[in-house]
Amino acid sequence: MGQLAEPLPSTVSDEQQKQDNTTSTKEATTSKKIQLHIDEVTLKFPTSTGTDFTALDKVSMEVRENEFAVIVGPSGCGKSSLLYLTAGLNSPTDGEIKVAGKVVDGPGAERGMVFQSYTLFPWLTVSENIEFGLKQKKMPAPERKKIVQKYLKEVGLESFADRNPKQLSGGMKQRVAIARSLANDPEILLMDEPFGALDSQTRMQMQQLLLQVWEHSKKTVVFVTHDIDEAIMLGDRVFVMGARPGRIQKVLDVNIPHPRTLDMVMEPDFISLKREILSLLHDDLTEMH
Amino acid sequence: MSSKQVSFKQLTSPQEELPKKVVLGAGTLSWIVLLSSWFLLSASNLVPTMFLPSPMDVLSTGVRLAEDGTLFEHMWASVQVVLIGFIVSSMLSIPLGMLMGSFKIVQAILEPLVNFIRYLPVTSFVPLFILWIGIGIEQRVTVIFFGVFFQQLVMISDVSRGVSKDLLHAAYTLGTSRSKVVTQVIAPASLPGILDTLRVTIGWAWTYLVVAELVAATSGLGYISLKAMRGFQVDVIFLAIVIIGLLGLLTDQFFRVLRARLSAWAN
């Protein structure tokens, strides 16, 4: 990156931030400003019986700048809905969502999203997919090229730049999707069970890769999953949701230092957190019956 | 399994791929069977030559009409009508169909009307068109347009509606506006389906062409067929049929190649 004649502004600030974070991680996370503010958000769907189904009931949460927040919960708890609302792809029945101080009103490039299904544009090559958002911004071609190169490298797909999405494995497709979102330099990165369709080996690899990429970019991330191990492995904080109606039961700090490795799942801290989340989810399930 | 040998099991397993040689061979065989049956039947005198000319007769008629220029004159007349009708129809149905597939309001406005017109037999409009437009080329073009346009519209709107909503969501979160999503996501994603639609509907255009030319025309392959019927020249009728078939095959192959070129990603 150093040999670039004109380093990208974002790269410079990222590097600086990384330094700040490594010197005082604890202080950094507590004093950071709020990047995502979800305020008493309710989401209701009309049903065929005439009564509304409450998918989310007055959900409030805050995510700090540069934080990796994970939302974990059983299927049907509205965790994906919450993410779609944040992306602006759906509107809440009540309440308000703010990202970087601005009220969410429709989708926009400042809130990037990686979806569970494969959403690469199949008629574009890998590089063209990563370039897509930059073209929307009408960024000049040489600048686009630099950014595409940077993120191709970041996700380790430089040699696949000219391939078509259909020639890629599931894990590779999601790596491109991550690169495509990050290339846009969003205020926040929303991830909706992005590794849900992958086999467990690939999934673990992807978690490591995502952590690496996140260490470099220090984006604010909101990651939705139903996999407890994944939640603890990735998150700075884990928001545990409950179903019917969808709500946040508890917020847990993950005080496991970075870099996190695969064998961490065997450590006492990890296991006790896992036990706590499991019991929260279990209690929520049994209450329903 | 070696590439040369094809087992019985392979031939009788559903959706099992076959070597290219086998596929090509099987296709050639069915042509040979058709042509040789025709040849044998006409040579056997089971059917009078007046009703069934031999392939040789048809070929020599073709050569004779090609030499005096009448064949190409009528071929060109037909090709012209098909192309004009088909191109005008496609130029309108592609954008309108995409709008119909993208915006529910456009669909709500057009669909009831289109579905009504779509099921009206085009042939029933031919007398009306003759009264309104006359028997010139405009009338035949109108018949083709009418026969193809409404079908294309419904098929293309289905193609556009079938574009995955996840792709639209992805585009939105990458900063694409609602109107740009149509041109930047729905249009390229629909392209393979649109080309498939064109490939199917150009076949129908040829069908309606003959209908139009049989009823009222002074040139074209349908017209020479009708004239040949009156003069009992069965060989000319056969020739016209063969030529329409070949032209249809040519247009079909054109769209097949075009699809492979323009949207290789979808194959």
Q: Encode pLDDT of B24-72 as tens digits.
A: 999 999 999 999 999 999 888 888 888 889 899 999 999 999 999 999 9
What pLDDT is stored for residue A262 in this prediction? 85
Smallest CA–CA distance from A189 into chain B, residue:
B173
pLDDT band at B81 (very low <50, low <70, confident <90, very high): very high
Interface test with B, best of A91, A119, A173, A193 (most B CBs within 10 A): A119
C-alpha closest to that of B3 among B17, B12, B14:
B17
3-state helix, strand, coil in chain B (%, to 5): 80, 0, 20
C-alpha closest to that of A174 among B121, B137, B170, B13:
B170
Interface test with A, best of B172, B174, B182 (most A CBs within 10 A): B174
Which of B171, B175, B263 lies nearest to residue A123, judging by beta carbons? B263
What pLDDT is stored for residue A204 in this prediction? 92
From first to last of its 289 residues, what are the pLDDT tens digits of chain A?
A: 334 443 344 444 444 444 444 444 444 445 578 999 999 999 998 888 888 889 999 999 999 999 999 999 988 889 999 999 999 999 999 999 999 999 999 999 999 999 999 999 999 999 999 999 999 999 999 999 999 999 999 999 999 999 999 999 999 999 999 999 999 999 999 999 999 989 999 999 999 999 999 998 889 999 999 999 999 999 999 999 998 889 999 999 999 888 888 888 889 999 999 999 999 988 887 765 5
CATH 3.40.50.300 fits A42-68+76-266, yes or no: yes
Q: Could you give the angle at the alpha carbon of A231 between the alpha carbons of A226 and A232, nearest 5°?
A: 145
Answer whether B171 touches A (CB < 8 Å).
yes
What pLDDT is stored for residue A72 in this prediction? 95
Partners of residue A89 in chain B, C-beta under 8 Å: 169, 172-173
Which of B164, B175, B185 lies nearest to residue A108, judging by beta carbons? B175
Smallest CA–CA distance from A190 into chain B, residue:
B173
For A4-21, write each residue's pLDDT tens digit.
Answer: 443 344 444 444 444 444
How many whole angstroms separate alpha carbon A251 and alpha carbon A261?
Answer: 23
Per-residue H/E/C for B74-119: HHHHHHHHHHHHHHHHHHHHHHHHHHHHHCHHHHHHHHHHHHHHHC
Q: Could you give the angle at the alpha carbon of A23 between the alpha carbons of A20 and A27, nearest 5°?
A: 80
- Cβ-Cβ pairs closer than 8 A, A with B, add up to 67
* Strand-strand pairing, A94-99 and A102-103: antiparallel
Is the confidence at residue B73, as pLDDT, over 60? yes
Which of B166, B172, B265 lies nearest to residue A123, judging by beta carbons? B265
pTM metric for this prediction: 0.84
What pLDDT is stored for residue B116 in this prediction? 92
Beta bridge partners of A37: A62, A98
Domains of chain B in sequence order: 73-266 (1.10.3720.10)
Which residue type, as a one-letter code, is found at position A73?
A: G
Token pair for residue B84? Answer: 């004009």
Answer whether B10 touches A (CB < 8 Å).
no
Token pair for residue A232? Answer: 């603890």
Residues 6 or more apart from B170 whose CB is under 8 A from it?
A113, A115, A119, A121, A177
C-alpha closest to that of A176 among A217, A138, A213:
A213
What pLDDT is stored for residue A52 in this prediction? 87
Average pLDDT score, chain A: 87
Is the confidence at residue B241, as pLDDT, over 60? yes
Partners of residue A190 in chain B, C-beta under 8 Å: 173
For A44-58, write each residue's pLDDT tens digit.
Answer: 988 888 888 899 999
Can you say how many angstroms the Cα of residue B84 is from the centroid of all Cα atoms in its chain?
A: 14
What pLDDT is stored for residue A31 in this prediction? 57
Average pLDDT score, chain B: 91
**Does the interface predicted TM-score (ipTM) exceed 0.90?**
no
Give the start-to-end residue ranges of the domains of chain A.
42-68+76-266
What pLDDT is stored for residue A80 in this prediction? 93
Sign of the alpha-carbon torsion through B48, B52, B58, B61: positive
Smallest CA–CA distance from B186 into chain A, residue:
A121
**If you count DSSP H runs as helices and E runs as strands, how many of each does chain B have, helices first?**
12, 0
Mean pLDDT computed over B73-98: 95
Is the confidence at residue B243, as pLDDT, over 60? yes
Which of A109, A117, A123 lies nearest to residue B174, judging by beta carbons? A109
- Whether residue B174 and residue A184 make contact (CB cut-off 8 A), yes or no, is yes
